[in-house]
Amino acid sequence: MFAVITILALLTVGLGLAFRRFRIQHPSAEGNILYAAIIRDFSRWLGLRIPAVLSKPTPAGWPAWVKGFRLWRLPLFEKWLLIGFYGSFLYLAASGFFFAIFIRRGLYGFPLVLHVMAGALFAVCLTLIAFLRARRFTFNSGPLALPGDLDAVRKFRIPWGARDWAKGFFWLFLLAGFSLAASALLPMLPWFPYRGQIILFGWHRWSALVSLLAAIAFADLELFRPKD
Amino acid sequence: MRAVGRIARPALGLLVLGLVAAVSAHAGDQKLKPWDGNRTTPSHFIPLRDENNELIVPTDTDAMPFSARFTCGPCHDYKTVQGGWHFDAMKAEKNGRPGEPWIWLDPKTGTVLPLSYRKWPGAWDPRVLRLNPWDFTLLFGRHMAGGGPAEPGDEDVFPGMDSRWNVSGKAEINCLACHNKSGRQDHSEWAKQMLRENLRWAATAAAGIGEVGGMASRLKETWDVYDGPNLDDHEWAVAPSVKYRTVDFDGKHRYFFDIAYPPDDRNCLACHSVSPVKETRATAAADVHTAKGIKCAECHRNDLQHGIVRGYEGEAMDTGNRSADSFTCRGCHLGEDPTGKRIVVPGRLGAPYPKHTGIPLVHFRTLACTVCHSGPVPGKSWARVRTSRANRLGVYGVARWSTDLPAIIEPVYMKDGRGKIGPQRLVWPAYWARTEGKEIVPLQPGVIEAAAGDILKCEDRIAGVLAALSQACGENEVPVLAAGGWLFEVNVDGGLDASPMVAAEKSGGKNEAYPFWGTEKDGVISPLIPDFDPAAEDKDPAAEPKVQSVLEALAGVAGIPGKPVVAMKKTLYQVTDRNLASAPVPAELGGASGPGWLKDGQFEPLAAEFDIRTVAATAGTEKTLTEEQVGLVLKVLDQGEAQRKEPEKGGPSHFTYISGGRAFRLDKGGRLVSEAADSAAPVTWPLAHNVRPVQQSLGWNGCTDCHTADSKFFFKTAKATGPLLTGSIASRSSTSLMGVGGLFHRVFGLTFAVRPFFKVILALTILATGAVLLVFFVVVAGKLAGLIEKRS
């Protein structure tokens, strides 16, 4: 169940983000009102795009590609904070979802020990990032207050752009990270019986999925955002 | 008319079928009479009937023993009971989870052979060894409840030359072994009667219904129970007979059976006791269920079919008894079946609902309940235990029945059939076997003993000499042999007791000539024959009479190898026509000294060097064989095989000896070599009791009960045990037995040293992140509610 939902959710988010890029790169497609035509154009675009993305950079060009990250040019503390953060999150996601989806027994052995250690590093880095970077992801300081009467509420729209989506995903990621840390700590405390342990285990898994999806969306919208 | 016939015939057939079905159903009803709902046990005033279904009059001379088949059978269908767990091993198709096998122990041949009619891993089917029901009954009848192999069908009664069913009768199911409430029920009496081959009398004697005398084992094979007393012999070969306790019968010759339903624990424990070797009765712990007043049979239930609930998860699937799932640990305490589905309301018999707070889920997926709750708390080494059936416990009397071997250890954690780790008992098998290709078939100890001849009788020979020499000893003097740092003396069972030699001061300075024969009195060892010079004129006048008494005593040694002689200085003494004769030591016997045997004109010491070397090597250990003995026996077996068949020149040995987890055989050069073999693997079976109180469960003190870098749970090594004295033994680590990674659990155990710090860090990050999130949500909520306005 979890494996199926995870795969479907990843596909959905991936396709959604790809479709967004398609719309940005092909503004003319916005005029198309036929779903079949949109899907056809999008599929054609995707068919060309995926091989292009996969082949660029080539394996030989990976070091140069990685060296090109802005990360390496950051101040020492910030650089290592982000290395720890990205590294731990990538390992957590890779080990957790690989074992959850492909290994019947779930996460065990040395990958589990590393998962626990990476979890601690992730929690610390996430906390520091929350304190150091959260202010960058606050929403505009304009009033958001809902109109006083209900008719106006119906027509009320929060001004919401791509940047706001990224901010939203940041906060969602932070929330999921908090949830992950809590659901990792609580089973270790002598408070929860067998049923509670089952709930906490499920809670940890679903939090991880939300966290991953939020991270992907945030990365697409913020870190690797298409040049406008 | 034809049309009528066409209709009538099928109709008639249906009618007959219906009648048969109705009769069968009625018969079935009779077998399993429905319970009327009353919870009392009826008083059992029952007329006793013998095996011919004749009424027993207790005052009759030569009355027959009672038969459960005909005494209990009229109300409790005997055939139905025969299908019960304790009785159907030979015919059972479903054997369920492995249980404790019968262990055939024969120290002389170094045999520790697990046997079972049930198809359990590691246990040999007695039929493979050509062990017939008669042999099996004599070997293990002491702890059988009758029935099964002890009550073979008529077609199995004469399968072997040695079977004496016609003399002994059959040991029917002994209902009273379990259901007798009377304190008269005496398991020791049952064991003795079985050993005496008084099979049909055993139940009567064990229940205290009557006193049974005589021994069927001493009667000729032509004797029949209807022959009555043996008129030719009133002392030795006395025919078994019963003298009933008439006081327990009423005027109608009905006997009062004091019945326990369900059976009392003492009756279960007669055959199912398990105790640590080093524990004393006073300090031995009890199962927590027993301490709470729960009887064995309240969980291990059964109906008339006697399909005892064994109480393991998956039993319902194995046996088809659906209620079995609710009698597991999980069934009573959680109300769940093995899949976790709620099947009954938990709390049967007051079972507390376990909270298991703070225990990660992986423990419930991979461990049986018994890992944390049953058996001894894991220590630095495994606990050596004795079980009733393996170590012959619970048979009391003048002779000591219980044995230290086989060496059973617990709790060895291993994966069971469901892939869950659970505590098990373990024994290393040891046996001689014939190998044919990849097939290996154990050999009966009797076969080996016969083939080995004198090779395995070292102890017997020395004990025989010491026993004979006791005739030449004075009051409070005990003949001894000092050799290899050990002092040997004969024990009451005709074997040898060895005690460490405290050398010079104890032996009066006579230890330089080891091995030497002497006598021990008040802790002081003296030479058997005092040193004297036969040629001296002032020699001790008691010396030569002592020599004569020693020689006369030695003449009584069984299987005497030669004429007993004593060589003293240059004089050779021997007894001729009851007179002590002395003569100069012949030149060809130069070097002869002390007592010995004159054989074929050669002087041989009282005990061969091989015998002394062997007993000295194994003294003070549980070992009974040396590598030298095993090599010699394998050689003899191979030679016998070569004579029987076309010899395979330089081919591999046809025989193997298994001990200490390795298989020993002779290589092409005739040297003893050992190798790992599946057939030498340890035999294990799960344990469930004793269940410890919750405060003594693993995990009660936290994760570090098991997860440390030097965990007693994970890091131990089981060195194989066996009767063979050898350095070539197998060993298994705990983690390999469990099937888990040793390195991983070392590292994982180490992480628990920093686990508290880890928790604190995690808690701080949660608090900090939570605070940021809280502020964020407060701000967003404030903005939405218009409570927080834009700053100007």
A104/A96 Cα distance (integer angstroms):
12
Q: What six digits make up the tokens of A88?
A: 């731990």
Which residues of chain B neighbour A143 with C-beta distances below 8 Å?
783, 786, 789-790
Question: Which pLDDT score is estimated for A44?
Answer: 83
Size of interface A-B (CB pairs under 8 A): 114
B614/B456 Cα distance (integer angstroms):
9
Interface probe for B, chosen from A88, A104, A122, A127 (most Cβ of B below 10 Å), is A127
Partner A contacted by B339 (CB < 8 A): no
Q: Which amino acid is at A106?
A: G
Residue recorded with tokens 């070992």: B623
Close Cβ partners of B259 (under 8 Å, ≥ 6 residues apart): B41, B44, B179, B180, B181
With vertex at residue B532, the alpha carbon angle to CA B531 and CA B535, rounded to the nearest 5 degrees, is 155
Close Cβ partners of B363 (under 8 Å, ≥ 6 residues apart): B372, B699
Report the number of distinct structural domains present in chain B: 3
Partner A contacted by B780 (CB < 8 A): yes
Residue B271 dihedral angles phi and psi, to the nearest 5° = -115, -10
User: What percent of chain A is modeled with pLDDT above 70?
Assistant: 86
Residue B174 lies in a domain: no
Are both B656 and B775 inside the same structural domain? Answer: no
Residue B318 lies in a domain: no
DSSP three-state, residue B756: helix
Residue B235 lies in a domain: no
B622/B103 Cα distance (integer angstroms):
17
Q: Which segments within B365-495 are labelled E, that is strand?
A: 383-387, 408-415, 421-427, 431-436, 439-442, 478-483, 486-490
Quote the minimal CA–CA distance from B743 to chain A in Å: 9
The structural domains of chain A, with segments of one domain joined by +, span: 1-68, 74-138+161-228
Residue A122 has pLDDT above 90, yes or no: yes
With vertex at residue B152, the alpha carbon angle to CA B146 and CA B154, rounded to the nearest 5 degrees, is 140
C-beta atoms of A185 and B789 within 8 A: no
* Residues of chain B where predicted confidence (pLDDT) is lower than 50: 1-4, 17, 19-30, 504-505, 509-512, 647, 650, 792
Which residues on chain A place their C-beta less than 8 Å from a C-beta of chain B?
Answer: 106, 108-110, 113, 116-117, 119-120, 123-124, 126-127, 130-131, 134, 138-139, 141-146, 171, 174-175, 177-178, 181-182, 184-185, 187-194, 196-198, 201
Are both B646 and B763 inside the same structural domain? Answer: no
Listed residues B660, B680, B700: the one ending a domain: B680
CA dihedral B641, B644, B649, B650 (to 10 degrees): 0
Average pLDDT over residues A127-150: 75
Question: Per DSSP, what are the bridge partners of residue B733?
Answer: B717
A16/B269 Cα distance (integer angstroms):
70
Question: Per DSSP, what are the bridge partners of residue B383?
Answer: B410
C-beta atoms of B786 and A134 within 8 A: no
ipTM over 0.85: yes
Q: How many CA atoms lie within 13 A of B272 on its CB side?
A: 20
pLDDT tens digit sequence for A7-30: 999 999 888 888 888 877 776 666
pLDDT tens digit sequence for A141-178: 555 556 666 777 666 666 667 778 888 899 999 999 99
Single out the residue of B412, B283, B388 nearest to residue B685, CA to CA.
B412
Is residue B199 within 8 Å of residue B212, measured between CB atoms? no
Question: Which pLDDT score is estimated for B789?
Answer: 66
Query: Which chain B residue's Cα is nearest to A123?
Result: B765
Q: What six digits make up the tokens of B346?
A: 């938990």
Are both B473 and B611 inside the same structural domain? Answer: yes
Which residues of chain A neighbour B336 with C-beta distances below 8 Å?
none
- Across the interface, of B751, B765, B784, the residue whose CB is closest to A124 is B765
The β-bridge relationship of strands B241-244 and B210-213 is: antiparallel
B250/B240 Cα distance (integer angstroms):
25
C-beta atoms of A145 and B784 within 8 A: yes
Close Cβ partners of B58 (under 8 Å, ≥ 6 residues apart): B48, B210, B244, B245, B246, B249, B253, B255
Is residue B111 within 8 Å of residue B432, measured between CB atoms? yes
DSSP state of A86: H
Q: Which residues form the domain of B2? A: 1-30
Residue recorded with tokens 């052979």: B113
Question: Which pLDDT score is estimated for B1?
Answer: 41
DSSP three-state, residue A57: coil
B155/B105 Cα distance (integer angstroms):
29
Partner A contacted by B774 (CB < 8 A): no
DSSP three-state, residue B274: strand
Query: Which chain A residue's Cα is nearest to B759?
Result: A185
Question: CB atoms < 10 A from the CB of B278, how many?
Answer: 9
B278: phi > 0 → left, psi -120 to 50 → alpha, else beta; which? Answer: alpha
A85/B387 Cα distance (integer angstroms):
58
Interface probe for A, chosen from B755, B766, B775, B780 (most Cβ of A below 10 Å), is B766
Partner A contacted by B415 (CB < 8 A): no
C-beta atoms of B765 and A113 within 8 A: no
Is residue B115 within 8 Å of residue B101, measured between CB atoms? yes
B131/B208 Cα distance (integer angstroms):
32
Partner A contacted by B22 (CB < 8 A): no
Partner A contacted by B766 (CB < 8 A): yes
Single out the residue of B481, B503, B451 nearest to residue B655, CA to CA.
B451
Are both B675 and B764 inside the same structural domain? Answer: no
User: What percent of chain A is modeled with pLDDT above 90?
Assistant: 36
A146/B531 Cα distance (integer angstroms):
123
B80: phi > 0 → left, psi -120 to 50 → alpha, else beta; which? Answer: alpha
Question: Which pLDDT score is estimated for B477?
Answer: 87
Q: What six digits make up the tokens of B326?
A: 């609710």
Residue count (chain A): 228
Residue B602 lies in a domain: yes
Is residue A193 within 8 Å of residue B356, measured between CB atoms? yes
Is residue B433 within 8 Å of residue B659, measured between CB atoms? no
Distance of CA B115 to the CA centre of its chain: 10
C-beta atoms of B356 and A194 within 8 A: yes
